[in-house]
Amino acid sequence: MRTFRIDLWDDSEYERDDGFMPCMEVVLMKTGTYGYDPTVPCPPRPMVLICPGGGYDFTSDWEGEPAAAQYQAQGFHTAVLHYSVGKSKFPKQLYDIAKAMLLIRQHAAEWEVNPDQIVVCGFSAGGHEAGMLATLWHEPFLAEHFGAESEIFRPNLAILAYPVITSGIYAHKGSFDHLAGEDSNLRDYVSLEKRVSEHTPPVYLWHTVTDDTVPVMNSILFAEALAEHGVNFELRLYPRGGHGMSIATRDVDDNNKFGHDDPYIHGWVQESIHFIHFHFGSESAEPNGFPINSKK
């Protein structure tokens, strides 16, 4: 296993807010050969790019590393994205995740990442961050900003956990206040149920129906838009649980202070892994779930 942090920008490219620089914390799983047989090479692995939540005010620790560890256990490379928050407004956040995707694909050979198997995974406002890339990757202004072809920014799958989606009546107001301020046109533009198109990759969504911070209608509206545009998706709605459940184990709870340790809801992790294997054609897999016979 190899771990490192990589800044997304240099000082000439990014105006720092309070000294912060967007970055990725990358974990690359062991590569090389399988077992003791040097004739069996290890193919490039999928990468899961994780966006923690925090209402675009901060990025939460409990939705970063704990989630990454779940996917590492299945043989996936991971990267946790610490994107622009606080005083930063759109499009800084979109540029951050687009730059992260650009770096992953530029380093795919070196990092032994399959460039056709990159997943964006986001929680709450991080779900909005991941969802922006999934729905806006093909926008001309993004390609123009980076001087690159649009396809390099396209995620192959998206996993959205209790995501912030809509700026309408079911909005999480704080997220949109931080992201777009009082600009009504911008708030409408980043209402993601309106940005779904045939260009959107397949999406796994989950939410609790009792979420009293980000209403479950955010996921339902997004799922309806995906269905209307013929985009493949899976939607899991759990009948209990609050907001910010993350992986729903004691690792993200504080002596059961929040009630986040819930084996029933923790099931979403394995379901999302099944979703990845289904779409990457990896029904034949190692016991830990790492795909052997992968296809695009």
Rounded to whole angstroms, how far apart are CA atoms 192 and 128? 8
Rounded to whole angstroms, how far apart are CA atoms 185 and 213? 24
C-alpha pair distances (Å), 64 with each of 34, 82, 236: 29, 9, 21
Which pLDDT belongs to residue 254?
65
Domain boundaries, the chain: 2-10+17-279
pLDDT tens digits, one per residue of 227-284? 999 999 999 999 999 999 999 998 887 666 667 889 999 999 999 999 999 999 864 3
Query: Is 90 exceeded by the pLDDT of residue 67?
Result: yes
The fold of 2-10+17-279 is Rossmann fold (3.40.50)
pLDDT tens digits, one per residue of 190-214? 999 999 999 999 999 999 999 999 9
pTM: 0.92
Rounded to whole angstroms, how far apart are CA atoms 237 and 227? 16
Nearest to 260 by CA among 271, 268, 252, 270: 252
Which pLDDT belongs to residue 33?
57
The side-by-side arrangement of strands in the sheet containing 203-208 is 2-7, 23-28, 77-82, 45-51, 113-123, 157-161, 203-208, 233-238
Query: Is 60 exceeded by the pLDDT of residue 294?
Result: no
C-alpha pair distances (Å), 290 with each of 36, 66, 119, 169, 287: 18, 19, 14, 41, 7
